[in-house]
A = this chain, B = another copy of it.
Amino acid sequence: MSAIRTARERARAEVMQEIKDEARRQLATVGAAGLSLRAVARELGMASSGLYRYFANRDALLTALIIDAYNEIGERVEVAERAVPAQDYRARWRAFCMTIREWAIAAPHQYALVYGSPVPGYQAPQDTVGPASRIPLTLIRNVHDAWTAGALQPPEPLPSLSAVLTEQAARVARETVPGVPEVVVTLTLIALTQLFGMLTFELFGHFVGSMDPAGPFFEFTVERMAGLIGLS
Also in contact, A204 and B118, with CB within 8 A (given A33-B33, A189-B210): yes
Q: How far is the CA of A129 from the CA of B32 in the complex (A)?
A: 26
| B115–A200 CB distance below 8 A | yes
Partner of A117, one of B116, B194, B198, B212: B116
Work out how many copies of this chain go into the complex.
Answer: 2
Q: Which of A117, A159, A186, A190 has the most CB of B within 10 A?
A: A117
Q: How far is the CA of A129 from the CA of B210 in the complex (A)?
A: 12
Q: CB of A71 within 8 A of chain B?
A: no
Q: CB of A86 within 8 A of chain B?
A: no
Q: CB of A63 within 8 A of chain B?
A: no
Interface residues of A in 164-195 (CB under 8 A from B): 164-165, 168-169, 171-172, 186-187, 189-190, 193-195
How many A residues face the partner with a CB closer than 8 A? 57
A-B contact pairs, 18 of them (CB 8 A): A31-B117, A31-B119, A115-B200, A116-B204, A118-B205, A159-B223, A161-B216, A165-B211, A165-B216, A189-B217, A190-B221, A190-B224, A193-B194, A193-B200, A193-B221, A194-B198, A197-B198, A228-B228
Which A residues lie at the B interface, using CB under 8 A?
29-34, 112, 115-121, 124, 129, 132-133, 136, 159, 161-162, 164-165, 168-169, 171-172, 186-187, 189-190, 193-198, 200-201, 204-206, 209-212, 215-217, 219-221, 223-225, 228
Across the A-B interface, give the 8 residue pairs with the lowest CB-CB distance, nearest first. Answer: A197-B197, A116-B117, A31-B120, A165-B216, A194-B194, A33-B33, A112-B117, A193-B197
